[in-house]
Amino acid sequence: MASIDQSPKASPTSLFQVYLRLRPPPSPLVQLTQQSLYPLLPPPERYLTVEAPGKDSQDGMPTHITIHPPSDSRKRAVEKFAFTKVFEEQAEQLELFRGTGVVPLIEGVLGEGRDGLIATLGVTGSGKSHTILGSKSQRGLTQLSLDVLYRSLGTQTLHPADHASLIASLNATDASEAQIFSAPGFLDNVYGDSLQEPSRSRAPTPMMVGSPSRSSLKVPYSSLKVHHTTGPRSQWSILSLDAVTPSPEKSNSSAVNEGKAASVPNAERIPNHTSTLPSQPSFRKPLNPGMTRKQAKMRFGDTLQDPAFTPNVPKRKLPQRPSALPQFPDISGLAFSVEPNMEYAILVSMHEVYNDRIFDLLSVPSNQKDLRRRHLLFKSTEASPDRKVVAGLCKVVCGSYEEALMILETGLLERRVAGTGSNSVSSRSHGFFCVEVKRRPRGGLSNSWIGSQLTIVDLAGSERARNAKTAGATLAEAGKINESLMYLGQCLQMQSDSDDGAKPTLVPFRQCKLTELLFSNSFPSSSHHHSTHTTHHKNAQKAIMIVTADPMNEFNATSQILRYSALAREVTVPRIPSVSSTIFANTTSRTLSGQTLPPTVHTDEAVVEMAFSEIARLNEEVEVLNVRLTEQEERRKEAEENWQKAEEKAEQIEMEVREECWSEMERKTEEERRRWMGAWGEEADRNDEHLDRKLEILSKGIQIHEDPIEQDARTTELEDENEALRRKLEALERELQCRSPTKLPRKAQLSSPSKDFGPGVLGAALFKLNGMSLTEAAECKPQSPGKTPGKKMRKLTARKWDLMDEKEMDAFENHY
Ligand SMILES: Nc1ncnc2c1ncn2[C@@H]1O[C@H](COP(=O)(O)OP(=O)(O)OP(=O)(O)O)[C@@H](O)[C@H]1O
């Protein structure tokens, strides 16, 4: 650590400039209430002292504090801490805004193109949100920063309503796969007609302990049904929130239900004002009486899912409600000059880290599938290969300060908060508010946007379950919050160790989402600006950490945070007066007259005194070493716990990866099976088709081949006929033989047939047919000339037979 006596300056490698802000005690009324509630509790003791500013302190501001363990603590070590500056209880918001490095940070975002980050860290209830978001009378660093940004950019700020292609142009160059909307369109879809309505009665905004909790405000539609303890940041509610005051019991009991909130579909969260909360006026756009929740969801979703959506709302006609916001402190005199030949677009996005997961605070479900809030990834994208971004956020282009405030309020309504024993409106997540300032040359033709981002982080506070009196899901949340803050502490510890001159250590920022988001871009990188295809060197971000502490509360938790966030530290153990010195002090001789005489110098006594003082010194050293040892042991324990957690996490990741691989394999196998089944089916179909075609061909072929069958049948028929004729012939011959020889010339006639139709012709025909089958006849070749008649007859072909004309055949048949 840096020498504690010098005015601490963060080294160039520092991740943060660290400022300390002390929280003022609660108002007398609140103190009175607390005393009446817990009469046995001793009045809180102040354990923190602010050291007078040193000679070289900046602006005459103190830089060191000392903490003395309270009387009931067993610890004795007095610790002194150094910070860049210490802001005491009476410090106002403006003092903080001007005194911390916020103004140069904004200048860096506007001019140098350097990202800036402001974060608050502290025990729950120490004033982080108050610093970042302000109260109902004072603006916080967020509003003040926005005001300066818009004042500086003035008329060079582009508004989507004036530039039709603005959203498309921003969309084309956005590296974070964001959905970009215009503010009026976004707000119209969230609040609709209520934006145009005259302001309703403004609710008293509860803020202090004892006043109605955050839950008493009208809560957003997304949280009405499930978290009764959740609601908007009470201190600086913008819109007309007609407060309703749920009973504290309800608040407490439902706090337990908070963990379920994430898994409850938003459809269930749309308030049914007439049924579930009859006395509660609506906050989000009142649904049309005839519109079901589903329809309402669809309506919002349908319009918003188109990133290029340009709403049909009057140009820049926002409700007057932001004017009801605190205007103090006034910073109208503060503005930076920006490049005159440039035009600027301001994009606002919001997300939270809840249970180590990132959720968009501005997302509006675009369809039924999106009803559950999906967590987003912090990753490098195609357009941003060497810088990580939260991918898939909703970003809203805000043309004015008022629009930006409305968006901020909208996001805060979605943020998870709960009432705990330590803070009635305690943040249960780490909230990130991001303002991107993009610029391009004037003219609006170019898509070559470059820009930088200001991120404002309201961290959830660390808490002790015993003090916070949390249980169930809220306790589990607290566990996650404390774990992420512990990792943050380790990163900060590394910073102070390397500032101390120890060899530079790697900051272990990849241990959880919070530290990843905070530190990933804290180191220089070069990114390829995809629109221009040139390498754009991105400066490392500058960061400010404002540590908030209540000097009268939570000694252990506060000292722990101071220990790891301070830029330098010194431990001393107060001297206990030694026995000898006490004895010797009492041995001072007095005369009778009461005159004090110089003590008699006894050499032995001097030696003893020296010995005692040496013993005392050594004792003191031992004490300091003991303190260091205890700290080292704590660190070791912490490291061991981390190691164990890391191992468990590794195991869990391994299991998850295995399961993922397994399910991927199963999915692929199933896919492959389906593919094969499909291919198989197709093949089978093809086969069937093929078979059908074959059958068709076959059936056609069968028809063709029917001819020979018919021929066979015909042959058989003819053969039968032939047989019948032969029999008839034989019968005739027999008949002839039985006749008288006078009739023989007829036989001779038969052997020489004439051309007449008559027995001669018939005889010749019968003669021809006799002794030959048609088959044989068919086989016979045509008769060649010069052959014997006998031979001729044998070789009579069916063709020849066939050559008989029809008349002849008919005559022949009729004859027989
Ligand atoms: N500097 C301050 N001046 C006046 N009031 C303050 C100041 N700091 C804190 N408070 C009040 O203290 C209460 C708790 O503060 P706040 O909600 O900001 O705490 P927190 O650190 O954000 O707590 P958590 O981590 O639980 O969200 C609020 O009512 C707030 O108005």
**Domain harbouring 408, CATH code:** 3.40.850.10
CA of 127 to the centre of ligand 1 (A): 3
Above 80 in pLDDT, residue 198? no
**Whether residue 300 sits in one domain with residue 151:** yes
pLDDT score, position 641? 83
**Whether residue 219 sits in one domain with residue 71:** yes
**Whether residue 642 sits in one domain with residue 544:** no
pLDDT category, 702, cuts 50, 70, 90? low
**Whether residue 401 sits in one domain with residue 259:** yes
Q: What are the percentages of helix, strand and coil residues in the chain, rounded to 5?
A: 45, 15, 40
pLDDT in tens, 764-813: 555 555 555 444 444 444 444 444 444 444 444 444 455 555 666 566 56
* Per-residue tokens: 75: 């610890």
Please indicate, yes or no, if residue 722 is contained in any of the structural domains.
no
Q: Could you report the predicted ipTM of this complex, rounded to two decimals?
A: 0.97
Please indicate, yes or no, if residue 268 is contained in any of the structural domains.
yes
Residue type, 783: Q
Ligand 1 atom with least separation from CA of 209: 29
Q: Is position 668 annotated in a ligand binding site?
A: no
Ligand 1 atom with least separation from CA of 425: 17
Number of domains in the chain: 3
pLDDT in tens, 511-535: 889 998 988 877 655 444 444 444 4
Three-state secondary structure call for residue 57: coil
Rounded to 5°, the CA angle 167-173-176 comes to: 95
Among protein residues, the one with the nearest Cα to ligand 1's atom 13 is 125
pLDDT category, 554, cuts 50, 70, 90? confident
| Of residues 324 and 555, more confidently modeled | 555
CA of 62 to the centre of ligand 1 (A): 22
What's the average model confidence in pLDDT over 17-29? 89
Q: Which residues contact 351 (CB under 8 A, 6 or more apart)?
A: 358, 359, 360, 361, 376, 390, 393, 432, 434
Give the closest residue to 479 by CA, choosing from 467, 493, 491, 462: 462
Please indicate, yes or no, if residue 725 is contained in any of the structural domains.
no
pLDDT in tens, 297-335: 333 333 333 344 443 433 334 444 555 677 788 888 888
**Whether residue 760 sits in one domain with residue 641:** no
In sequence order, what DSSP letters do the residues of 450-489 get, joined into one string?
EEEEEEEEEPPPB--HHHHT--HHHHHHHHHHHHHHHHHH
**Whether residue 699 sits in one domain with residue 801:** no
**Whether residue 158 sits in one domain with residue 33:** yes
| Range ranked top by mean pLDDT from 366-370, 401-405, 473-477, 712-716 | 401-405
Task: Write down which residue in 572, 604, 630 finishes a domain.
Answer: 572
**Segments forming the whole domain that contains residue 512:** 17-309+341-572
Among protein residues, the one with the nearest Cα to ligand 1's atom 10 is 127
Ligand 1 atom with least separation from CA of 133: 18
CB 419 within 8 A of CB 426: yes
**Whether residue 558 sits in one domain with residue 477:** yes
**Whether residue 228 sits in one domain with residue 282:** yes
Tokens 């004490």 locate to: 623
**Whether residue 52 sits in one domain with residue 100:** yes
CA 466 from centre of chain: 33
Give the residue, out of 423, 456, 464, 547, with the most ligand 1 atoms within 8 A of its beta carbon, to mutate for a pocket test.
Answer: 423
Rounded CA separation 543/522 (Å): 8
pLDDT score, position 63? 92
CA distances to 130, 147, 240 from 332, rounded to whole Å, are 22, 8, 26
Please indicate, yes or no, if residue 403 is contained in any of the structural domains.
yes
CA of 36 to the centre of ligand 1 (A): 21
**Whether residue 620 sits in one domain with residue 560:** no
Please indicate, yes or no, if residue 493 is contained in any of the structural domains.
yes
Please indicate, yes or no, if residue 580 is contained in any of the structural domains.
no
In the sheet where 78-82 sits, what is the strand order?
Answer: 48-50, 64-67, 78-82, 568-572
Q: Is position 231 annotated in a ligand binding site?
A: no
Give the residue, out of 29, 33, 129, with the most ligand 1 atoms within 8 A of its beta carbon, to mutate for a pocket test.
Answer: 129
Above 60 in pLDDT, residue 586? no
Pocket of ligand 1 (CB under 6 A): 23-24, 122, 124-130, 135, 207-208, 235, 423, 425-427, 460-461, 548
Task: Write down which residue in 519, 542, 572 finishes a domain.
Answer: 572
Task: Write down which residue in 506, 539, 572 finishes a domain.
Answer: 572
CA of 147 to the centre of ligand 1 (A): 22
User: Is the overall model pTM greater than 0.95, yes or no?
Assistant: no
Residue type, 13: T
In sequence order, what DSSP letters do the residues of 523-547 get, joined into one string?
S-EEEEETTTTEEEEEPPPEEEEEE
Burial of 676 (C-beta count, 10 Å sphere; 0-12/13-18/19+): exposed
67's enclosing H/E stretch is strand 64-67
pLDDT in tens, 431-469: 999 999 999 888 766 678 888 899 999 988 776 544 545
Please indicate, yes or no, if residue 729 is contained in any of the structural domains.
no
In sequence order, what DSSP letters do the residues of 199-241 get, joined into one string?
P-PPPP---STTS--GGGSPPPTTTTTT-TT--S-GGG--S--
